[in-house]
Amino acid sequence: MFCFYIIELISAKFFMDTDILQSLAHLDQSGNAQMVDVTHKPQTVRRAIAVCEISMKTTTLDAIQAGNVPKGDVLGTARLAGIMAAKQTANLIPMCHPLNLTSVDVKILLDENIPGYQIEAEVKTKSETGVEMEAMTAATIAALTLYDMAKSLEKTMIISNTRLIHKSGGKSGDFNAPKGEYCDI
């Protein structure tokens, strides 16, 4: 989907396809990126859930679970970092609107099959625009913080499968990722 968007954006700008440019609210008439004007959109309850995974050696996983990591509370610190990150999304992603978040919940779930952790971030607001990017930012930063906290034990940890699994509210309605190969939470 993202690749299609980039190709469409490049094609529209290169060929100045006005039909495509007009259909993309985040582009001005010249094809330049702009923040979408949400002034006249109604406020609705918005909710998004994003997940990602971090895999590691079982020795690293065991040390985290036992609380034997030199930097301290790995999971607690990663959870708090995810919450803080959701609140900073508009400062990190240029076209994201600053939002008044009403709830941010980050769960870090042990998954010995990976081996590692599944990270789930749920974000809510009552706003004119959605919180998908805030949820994905929270999950990703929690994973990066977990990596940072445990990198003295292992540098080969892998962060992967970051994805949106649920979105509700707003004009486009609800989205639920299909259960299966890429989404099993």
Torsion of CA 21, 22, 28, 32, to 10 degrees: -10
Dist CA 167 CA 184 (whole Å)? 16
Q: Catalytic annotation on 148?
A: yes
3-state secondary structure the chain: CHHHHHHHHHHHHHHCCHHHHHHCCCECCCCCECCCCCCCCCCEEEEEEEEEEEECCHHHHHHHHHCCCCCCCHHHHHHHHHHHHHHCHHHHCCCCCCCCEEEEEEEEEEECCCCEEEEEEEEEEEECCCCHHHHHHHHHHHHHHHHHHHCCCCCCCEEEEEEEEEEECCCCCCEECCCECCECC
Annotated catalytic residue within 17, 148, 174, 184: 148
- The residues annotated with a catalytic role in the active site are 148
